[in-house]
Amino acid sequence: MIASRTGLSRKEAKAAISAGKVTVGGEILRNSELKVDENDEIFLECKKINGKSHIYIVLHKPKGYVSATEDPQQKTVLELVPPELFRNGLFPAGRLDKDTTGLMIITDDGDFAHRILAPRKHVSKKYAVTIDLPVTSAMEKGFAEGIELNDGVCKSALLEKTGENTCFVTLSEGRYHQIKRMFGCFGAKVTELHRLAIGGFTLPGDLPEGKCRELTDEEVALIEKAR
């Protein structure tokens, strides 16, 4: 459990136990074969171990980070996860471009990630978009009808104008650079892109850019709520 819930290897976890750095129920643990469950109070060097089978983290992604588990040349979103939330097997559920900001989910639950990303699940993603041209009614109509890209026609998307050059766009699929490519069909360039929501869950207003926290069970359920 310690190895899977932290960044330690199994060898390092066993060494920590042998050194008396782990307590279970307030008692120093010496036997690494002890059976435990997620309800046990487990501490490693006075830091509580999250014993849940899976973890779900919301990140307010800033610019400059790639949506990957590792990259030899660029900073990844996993570098923003604090030690108390980090565990082996974490990955970003879906991707945001390096220059895109906003809501990102990081987890170690592959089934959950599939459920929120699979097109047939129709879990929506909402974005705040700024483009270099005025938002037009032709764009609204085109998004609603489905724009044809070089990899096929997009599903209907909702475009809501919020200003001369700004709007909200809600998608139910996630193709590569989809929003940028859709606006490109109208000769417009996306200058700012910020994800606001996934399903029924909206990026918390009190979560600063570059910070993350664990999601509650209720929030995880909202993410899977198709809209």
Mapped onto helix, strand or coil, the DSSP state of residue 160 is strand
3-state secondary structure of 141: helix
- Number of Cβ within 10 Å of residue 137's Cβ equals 9
The residue annotated as part of the active site, out of 40, 71, 97, 108, is 97
CB 203 within 8 A of CB 196: yes
Neighbours of 181 (CB within 10 A): 16
Per DSSP bridges, beta strands 125-131 and 166-171 are: antiparallel
Distances (CA, A) of 187 to 11, 101, 126, 184, 190: 56, 23, 22, 5, 10
97 is catalytic: yes
- Give whole-number Cα distances, 21 to 5, 34, 138, in Å: 15, 15, 64
Residue numbers annotated as active site: 97
